[in-house]
Structure 1
């Protein structure tokens, strides 16, 4: 090293040392002029308390290292966050240290701040991944999912109140800003310490790099994960690939949605096997396979389904059930609804926008096309304008503002299912229209957080819903249920029992010989209830009084009753539309209907 270079390095080291509170060797003119001045204590906290200053400096550096270390190794799923996940050496840290060691002072500081900010942004995305895996069973999509953050805020507001929603939003913003700032400061701090101790930092980086290479070559693992980590690099690559795939998927799905087997089928050939029937398509929120098979949830739900099957049988109804694999999990119910009704696999918001902006034939619009049914939607979960109603071919949509409810909300659910069904009877089903009715009904009482829950009351006492005030007031608090891993399963099971009972009670009281009911879950509940490795399967059931309706689906292999068994057929939810249209009408291109 040249003398000039050595001089520059000493100068830089001296200047940076002064930042730690140590007194550099200054020029002669700064020497105290008098003995009294020389004896005076050095000013500033660091001069007064050198031991405290050193301790604070060590703690700051240690916390900076810990913050960066955790950020580089943070898993994207809550179940993977355990001590073994952090007993690794991240290659990104070694590469970053090497880069900072060779850069000149000013450039080093700029790069350190930028690298810290980027690491903070990646940490925010990792935290979003954790949240999305917990609630939706998938990672965060940086192209499509920002809109869902607004839905999350609305959900918190509806479930836990405006104060909680405001606090949650403020907390999220503060956390995001803090991560960006603190991570930038942490990397800058580490960079400065490395510059002041370049020889030690160089040797340490070399040793860690050697260890990483050896462990990577030998495949060394700790707690089942590689000791030589490159998780941050892999995550960045995965995110980039998902962005590319998402953009490509938008283009490809538009082509798929434009092709429709039944798109040009005339109305007089559609649904000929259901003419004269009142057909109800009913979605039960979060009614998933776990409700029937999880040992901590299933006993009550299975008992409800068995009892309901017996009651239907005594009234002359029969049912067949199977399984459908939903396109969504834990939430985003509209993706399940649209997949079921359009026959397209709609598993993200981009696909949903594409299909609802087009003219692909939905199952509900097929009924409208025939001209033989009045088509209506009962949507208590819709609280603002819903332009998609036109795409679905609904002559009239009743949202939460149109159903006449004057009772309290039950967390997110705007009204109890029994009230929504009673309003359907009052507004549509109980009236004479000169033609049968096709209805799409969304039941919301089984929406998380499953507290407080409504109770079944006599139909004659429902009125405008004011009677539910006492029920809601006596119910459990959402926070107490949602945060308790045992209680949340119990209350979820009760919510499914309530929804199923409300629906079957409605059919028994207001249904008739021409009633046909198809009801299903839109998706499984979130992982806290359904489990980390739960399937995406949901039950689907067809109920009818006319045996000829059930005979048309005898080849489906569905099982008798409201409760599908473990061996019942499992179909993709997107396959239902074509199977249903095929069962109840001629195939596309067939001759004129004769039945």
Structure 2
């Protein structure tokens, strides 16, 4: 008798747990940020999912022969919904958008590589194995839960049908009333079905995009313009592009982060002025968010909107003119400084670089700073010694600054330029640094560390200009994308600051009609362009006006 009672109670508990699991899996949103009006609890548990009603109706209508196979398929489908929601949560946190099942598979490898760089190969492997195991477990548990509930409805078909009719009436009434807890969260929920529909429809959209983008990448409006005409007004100038990792608008507009960055920017503006340089700044909207820096670099360089690995691959297989290739073909020496690269970079030839320096040949002997293999000041010092001081003729270089890459711990400090050496001087700076796992428990402290890293990266670049820049230097400094949402916040824009610095004021006079702000900070009302607009505007401003015309807006 006792054993039977225990079985009855345990069976009832398992049935309740199965019902809770199915319900939660269907209604929990695929985002972790709390909405402004309402709470995550309301979003997750105070809604009625249409998927339960439809699924139960289908199973009740089937003959006993087909109920178990169909219930199994429903369970597997529910498991995939759970996996997709978890993946979307991660993508929303890091990249500010949902996962694309056609285009985003390469990003898992990039995520693994980034975790390896910051936490070590052992933890990266453990995370990958854990993700696979948990995915399989989700499929199994969801399938068992659906099968258990199916058996319950078959044991009590009458009450099940009456309950189904009542739930249908309630759902229709809620849908007609339009009751919501907050925008995009109606109480009459169909979010799981909508998520699957959106995911499936991305497949033909990606295929269509592939065809359309192939045409755009092969039809460059500047293909027949002589290279020297594209950059004629910069003849004799050295053009350096400094890409500051994760330098987003948020650091300049959020009061807390701006309070950290502003003193450095104010001091840097004085450094530039003392050295005879002037600056103008604007806003660009990046093609990516939180990560995927190479997509932003490609958009900036090519004049095309690169939002996925598919587009990136198509672009780099084309003969599209980039900023670098335009200078290269016009006779400039072209150099890429990529301290984050650990292997050969095949795309260098597409961009038009004569020489690329990366972590393998920069000679750094100091400690690692999180993901960043070397401090930005060391990268700039190596550039000065190996490239800028030895240039013969005009130089065009792109320097990627990585010290502001997550996890923003530890952060290097500026040292005397003559003491940089092989980087050994940085060894004491990593001792006692806070671990990422503890830092990221606090959004406020993470914001502080991020802001400090941006201040360091910008100061490194401006200090290099002050010490080594000559009258022929034209520097373009911009951020590749906003930092992930733990720093920038949910719903942040994709805007980044961009600045052009020059000793020769005529170089800035050519962009007077851009309405950019003076100095290193754009203003709130400074125009915002998409990042892919910059290349064409640059060619129009700095090219031969008789040969170069700005193409019609996209």
TM category, shorter: over 0.9
The match for 1:253 is 213
The match for 2:199 is 239
The match for 2:536 is 578
Pairs aligned (count)? 543
Contact 2:48 2:189 in 1 (8 A): yes
**Residue 74 (structure 1) aligned with residue 20 (structure 2):** no
The match for 1:384 is 343
Within 1, Cα distance between the matches of 2:134 and 2:409? 28
Superposed CA deviations along residues 535-560 of structure 1, whole A, max 9, x for unmatched, are 11111001111111111112211111
Within 1, Cα distance between the matches of 2:177 and 2:440? 45
Of 428, 453, 464, which residue of structure 2 is paired with 1:506? 464
User: Which 10-residue stretch deviates more, 216-225 or 81-90?
Assistant: 216-225
Contact 1:68 1:186 in 2 (8 A): yes
Of 134, 151, 165, which residue of structure 2 is paired with 1:175? 134
The match for 1:265 is 225
**Residue 189 (structure 1) aligned with residue 168 (structure 2):** no
Structure index of larger Rg:
1
The match for 1:132 is 91
The match for 1:215 is 174
User: Which 10-residue stretch deviates more, 166-175 or 60-69?
Assistant: 166-175
The Cα of 1:158 is off from its aligned counterpart by: 1.2
**Residue 496 (structure 1) aligned with residue 454 (structure 2):** yes
Of 300, 306, 309, which residue of structure 1 is paired with 2:266? 306
Contact 2:31 2:89 in 1 (8 A): yes
Within 1, Cα distance between the matches of 2:348 and 2:104? 23
Structure 1 unmatched ranges of 5 or more:
1-46
Within 2, Cα distance between the matches of 1:578 and 1:90? 49
The Cα of 1:590 is off from its aligned counterpart by: 6.0
The Cα of 1:259 is off from its aligned counterpart by: 1.6
The Cα of 1:48 is off from its aligned counterpart by: 5.4
The match for 2:552 is none
3-state SS of paired residue (1:454): coil
Of 312, 331, 352, which residue of structure 2 is paired with 1:393? 352
Superposed CA deviations along residues 446-479 of structure 1, whole A, max 9, x for unmatched, are 0011001111111122111122221112432222
The match for 2:190 is 230
Within 2, Cα distance between the matches of 1:379 and 1:292? 26
The match for 1:95 is 54
The match for 1:472 is 430
Runs of 4 or more, structure 1, over 6 Å off, are: none
**Residue 525 (structure 1) aligned with residue 483 (structure 2):** yes
Contact 2:233 2:544 in 1 (8 A): no
Contact 1:88 1:222 in 2 (8 A): no
3-state SS of paired residue (1:152): helix
Q: Aligned pair in 2 of structure 1 residues 223, 359: CA closer, same or farther (>3 Å)?
A: closer
The normalised TM-score by structure 2 is 0.95
Contact 2:237 2:473 in 1 (8 A): yes
Show the 5 A alignment for 1:109-128.
Answer: 109-128=68-87
Structure 2 unmatched ranges of 5 or more:
550-554
User: Which 10-residue stretch deviates more, 227-236 or 522-531?
Assistant: 227-236
Of 229, 246, 256, which residue of structure 2 is paired with 1:286? 246
The match for 1:49 is 3
Contact 1:267 1:366 in 2 (8 A): yes
Superposed CA deviations along residues 488-509 of structure 1, whole A, max 9, x for unmatched, are 0000000001001110111111
The match for 2:523 is 565
User: Which 10-residue stretch deviates more, 228-237 or 316-325?
Assistant: 228-237
User: Which 10-residue stretch deviates more, 74-83 or 254-263?
Assistant: 74-83
